[in-house]
């Protein structure tokens, strides 16, 4: 079904034919697009069942002898030092933020790679190429800026 993309015509998705609707109401064709996700569902179920089973059997079958030493906090065998609530440096945050920005950039590039051949077939190859190049150039300038500014240095 094609979107009507010219302005002024309403932009509605054209209404579906009723015949197709009838077929779908029986629920056969409807779930077909979910079948690729079946393995994921199985995986999730398996993980859930494993978690519950392990905890359950460990509590039911395992022996429980609680002593003081077992209950103490364990840190590499030596007594705990320092405040567990120590604050982290803001540098981590800057790195994380830069990571997200460039992560999002890669998200935008991914469909482009999959589609470039199709676009080229439609005679839009160079257009798509320069479209993406200007997008990446802008962000490359951002990278150069961050680099030269020393925001990537760990001092």
Quote the CA–CA distance of 150 and 138 in Å, as a whole number: 19
Quote the CA–CA distance of 65 and 53 in Å, as a whole number: 21
Nearer to another protein, 6 or 68 (CB): 6
Q: Which residues bind another protein (CB under 8 A)?
A: 1, 3, 5-13, 15-16, 20-21, 24, 27, 30-31, 33-34, 37, 85-90, 92-94, 96-101, 103-105, 107-108, 110-112, 114-115, 118-119, 124, 127-128, 131-132, 134-136, 138-139, 141-142, 144-146, 148-151
Eight-class DSSP state of 110:
H
Closest approach, Cβ 39 to another protein, in A, equals 13
The upper half-sphere exposure of residue 73, i.e. CA atoms within 13 Å in the direction of its Cβ, equals 5
Nearer to another protein, 67 or 106 (CB): 106
């Amino acid at each position: 079904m094609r979107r009507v993309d010219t302005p002024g015509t309403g932009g509605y998705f054209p209404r579906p034919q009723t015949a197709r609707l009838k077929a779908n109401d029986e629920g056969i064709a409807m779930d077909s697009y979910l079948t690729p996700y079946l393995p994921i569902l199985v995986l999730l179920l398996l993980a859930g069942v494993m978690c519950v089973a392990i905890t359950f059997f460990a509590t039911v079958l395992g022996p429980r002898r609680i002593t003081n030493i077992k209950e103490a906090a364990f840190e590499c065998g030596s007594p705990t030092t320092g405040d567990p609530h120590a604050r982290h440096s803001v540098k981590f945050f800057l790195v994380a933020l830069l990571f997200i920005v460039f992560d999002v950039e890669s998200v935008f590039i991914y469909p482009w790679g999959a589609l470039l051949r199709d676009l080229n077939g439609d005679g839009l190859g160079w257009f798509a190429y320069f479209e993406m190049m200007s997008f990446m150039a802008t962000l490359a300038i951002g990278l150069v800026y961050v680099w030269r500014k020393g925001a990537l240095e760990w001092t």
